[in-house]
Structure formats: C-alpha cells, structure tokens
Amino acid sequence: NTAPRFVRGPDSSIREDAGAQRIPAWATQISAGAPHESGQRLAFETVTDRPELFAASPAIETDGTLTYTPAPEAYGTAEVTVVLRDDGGSENGGQDRSEPDRFLIVVRPVNDPPQFVKGPDQNLRGNAGPQVVVDWARQISAGPANEVRQAFTFQVTADHPEWFLVQPALSPAGALSY
C-alpha cells in the first residue's frame, strides 16, 4: 500500500462571528496512491491546536471541501494539522497515511456595538429647570466579555435643540441630564 496524497488549499482568514464556513475544493489532487489502489476508501483527519476557537472543528470531506464554524465571540489563530488516510493498511511496510500538512485559520476580531436599555420618555412643563434622571439608561455594556474594558461615550442629539438651555446628555453610568 502506498501513501495517499493531496494538495492542501490556502490558509483561511475570516471575521469573528462569521458563521459556518464551507470552502469547496479546498483540498485537490486527492489520490489513494498507486493506480491499482484507486478503490480504497479515503478519509481526512484534522486536529487543531486551538479547539476553543471553533463551535464545529475544521473537517475536510472526501471531495476536498473544508468546513468549520468559529465559536461565538472567539478570535485568534489556529494551526490545523491534516492527514489523509486510506483503508489499505500498513502491512509489509505499506503506508496508509499521507504526510501531515498544516495550515492556519485566522479568526479576526470584530468590535461589537455597545448596548443599553433606554429609560422612559420625559414629559415636563416649560421652565422646569435642570433635570437629572439617575439610571435612565440601564444594562449598559461595552459589548461581549472580551470587550468589557473598552471605554465608551453616549452621543445624544435632540430633534428640537432650541427647546433646551443645556442639551441632553448621558453619563457613562446612564444618568440623563438636560
């Protein structure tokens, strides 16, 4: 039995939270070995050094299609080792595995938007004076756990700025003042 062989495709680079990936014909020139071994069944085996980056680990189908799904909010670089195995066995010095090959999957970080829950609309009579509504904005978050150290500010605009002596503003803690 001679070793199976294939030609691997390029490294892969995607954005965080990109969802399931399917890259047809990633592996090409897939062969069981010598011509008389063409009836052997083939299977790709993959292992990654960063399994935490994936909700569905990298896999290669027998037609050479590469598939994987990055884990939510995960980013970084994973090295994937791939071997093609046939069912011809290794008796008498035979080879049923290709040489290991390696490629990279790079999951690039994406800045997620900050979030908050707005408070109630404000209704006042004219000449009410300065107003401060503590905790008007609630559940304030800079984004997912990997972005909690980001600084943020609120940008507030009024559709009738002429109604205010001091324009509405929100503090990072969620206090509305106007």
Sequential DSSP letters for 6-21: EE----EEEETT---E
Phi and psi angles of residue 77, each rounded to the nearest 5 degrees, phi first: -120, 130
CA distance 36 to 74: 45
Query: Tell me, what's the pLDDT at 116?
Result: 95
Dihedral sign (CA 138, 139, 142, 143): negative
Enumerate helices (H) and strands (E) in the chain, giving the number of each.
0, 14
Beta bridge partners of 76: 107
Q: Which residues of 132-167 are buried (b: 16+ CB within 10 A; e: fewer)?
A: eeeebbeebbbbeeebeeeeeeeeeeeeeeeeeeee
Residue pair 138/44 in contact (Cβ under 8 Å)? The answer is: no
Q: What is the pLDDT of residue 93?
A: 81
pLDDT confidence of residue 35: 86
Work out whether the CA dihedral 29, 32, 34, 37 comes out positive or negative.
negative
- Separation CA 68–CA 70 (nearest Å): 7
Determine how many CB atoms are found less than 10 A away from the CB of residue 173: 10
Residue 121 above 90 pLDDT?
A: yes
Q: How far apart are CA 98 and CA 142, in angstroms?
A: 47
* Cα separation, 96 vs 3, whole angstroms: 5
Name 101's bridge partners.
82
Question: What DSSP state is assigned to residue 111?
Answer: P
pTM tops 0.85: no
30-39 per-position pLDDT tens digit: 998 888 888 8
Query: How do residues 139-171 score in pLDDT, each as one tens digit?
Result: 999 888 888 888 889 999 999 999 899 999 999
